[in-house]
Amino acid sequence: MRVKRIIGHGIGALILPLWVAVLSAEDSGEGPPGERAAVEEIIEQYIASQGGRERMKSLRRVELEGRMALKSQGLIIEVRQRLESPDKVFVTMEFPGLGTVREIINGNRGWEWHPLTGTRSLEEREVKDHLRDADLQRDLRLFEVYEQIRLAEPEEIEGHMTRHLVLLDREGKEEHWYFKENGDLFQQVRDVPVGPGGEVAIRQRHYDFTTVEGFRFPKVVRIHNPAFEAEITITRCQINPEFDPAIFQIPPSGL
C-alpha cells in the first residue's frame, strides 16, 4: 500500500498514530482521500482505453464469435455470443463429438439446452453471471456495481508493471483487476460460476488488443486454473448489429 511505503520511508514516530488511523479507515472500506482519486483515475483510463465513455454509452448490442481451445486436451469449442444490453444473451457452443449447447438469458430468466442433459432453467446465480456480460455499460458503473474498490500494490506481470485494484462485490467476493499503463485491463482474478451452485477460481489474461468501430478489446484471453488452461480467441466482432428478437425468447419448456 502507498501508506505503508510512506511509513517505510522513515516518517517520524510522532505522526505514526495519524497514519494508523488512516490505515483503519482504509480497512473499513472508506479508503484514504487520495486512494479514491487514484482508483477513479485508473477506471477512467480503463474506460478511455476501451473507446471512451460516450462511445461505450452507444453500445447496445454486440455479436462475438470465436473459439475456446483447451490445447492440452485437444478440444476446440466454437462459441457465438449475442448480447443485447442490459439483459439479453444468446450463446451457442459447438463441442466436437458432442453437439451444440445453447443458452438464453432474457431478463431474470435463463434457459439452456445441452445434447446430453436436455433442457433446464438456469439458477439465479448463473443468470446473474450472464447478466454481467449483457450489461454493456457495466464498466461505466463500477462504483455502483461493487461494494468497494480498493487500490492494492502494483504488480509486475509478464514484464509489465500493472496497477492493481481489488473489487469487493455485494456478496463479499473479491476480484482482482490489473491494468497496464495505457489503461488496458491485462489480468483479472476471480471466481466464475460453473453450473448449478459450483464455481472455479480463474485467472484470465488479455492479449492482442484490437479495435473495431472505435472499441478496443483483447482478441485473445488466456484462462488458468490449477487443473486446466484454456485460450479464447475472438475471430469476429460486430458492434450494434440487428438481432431477431426471437433468438432471446425462452422456449416454453424453460418457463
Partner 1 sequence: MLIIKPNPLKWVLLTGAWGLAAHLGLAFPNGKETFERSFDMVWNTVTEAFWDENFNGVDWERVGDRYKGELGQVKDRKDLVVLLQSMLDELGQSHFKILNASAEPLFGASRGGYTGISLKYTPHGAYVVRIEPGSVAHKEGIQVGWKLKSVNGKSTKRIIQSILRAEIPEKRKLFLIQVNLGVRINGSAGKQLRTDWYPSLGGKEKIYLTPARDERERSEPIGFLSEQKLEYEETYLRDRVLYLRFNYFMPALMQKIRLAIEAAEGRAEGLILDLRGNFGGLTIMGTGIAGLLIEEATPLGKMTMRKGLVNYRGYPQEKRFTGPVAILIDSCTISTAEMFAAGLQEAGRARLFGEVSQGDSLPSLLKKLPSGDVLQYALGDFTTPKGNRIEKNGVIPDVLVDADPEALAAGLDLPLQSAMEWLGIMPSLEDDGGT
Applying CB under 8 A, which residues contact partner 1?
50, 62, 64, 66, 68, 70, 72-75, 77, 79, 81, 91, 93, 95-99, 101, 103, 114-121, 129-130, 133, 139, 185, 191-202, 204, 206, 215, 217-218, 221, 223, 225-228, 230, 232, 234, 237, 253
Indicate the DSSP class of residue 60.
-
Cα three-residue angle 228-95-234, rounded to 5 degrees = 70
Among 228, 249, 255, smallest CA distance to 102 is for: 249
The verdict on whether omega for the bond into residue 193 sits within 30 degrees of 0, i.e. cis, is: no
Among 119, 206, 107, 90, smallest CA distance to 158 is for: 206
Residue nearer to partner 1 on the CB measure, 2 or 80: 80
- Distance of closest approach, residue 99 Cβ to partner 1, in angstroms: 7
Helix-strand-coil split of the chain, %, nearest 5: 30, 45, 25
Q: What is the C-alpha separation between 34 and 36, in angstroms, rounded?
A: 6
Residue nearer to partner 1 on the CB measure, 24 or 210: 210
- Distance of closest approach, residue 170 Cβ to partner 1, in angstroms: 20
Residue nearer to partner 1 on the CB measure, 29 or 241: 241
Residue nearer to partner 1 on the CB measure, 32 or 51: 51
221 neighbors 204 (Cβ within 8 angstroms): yes
Assigned C-alpha cell, 62? 454486440
**180 — phi, psi (to 5°)?**
-80, 170
Residue nearer to partner 1 on the CB measure, 64 or 151: 64
Q: What is the C-alpha separation between 168 and 170, in angstroms, rounded?
A: 7
- Distance of closest approach, residue 154 Cβ to partner 1, in angstroms: 20
- Distance of closest approach, residue 6 Cβ to partner 1, in angstroms: 33
- Distance of closest approach, residue 155 Cβ to partner 1, in angstroms: 19
- Distance of closest approach, residue 242 Cβ to partner 1, in angstroms: 18
Residue nearer to partner 1 on the CB measure, 30 or 124: 124
Cα-Cα end-to-end distance for the chain: 50
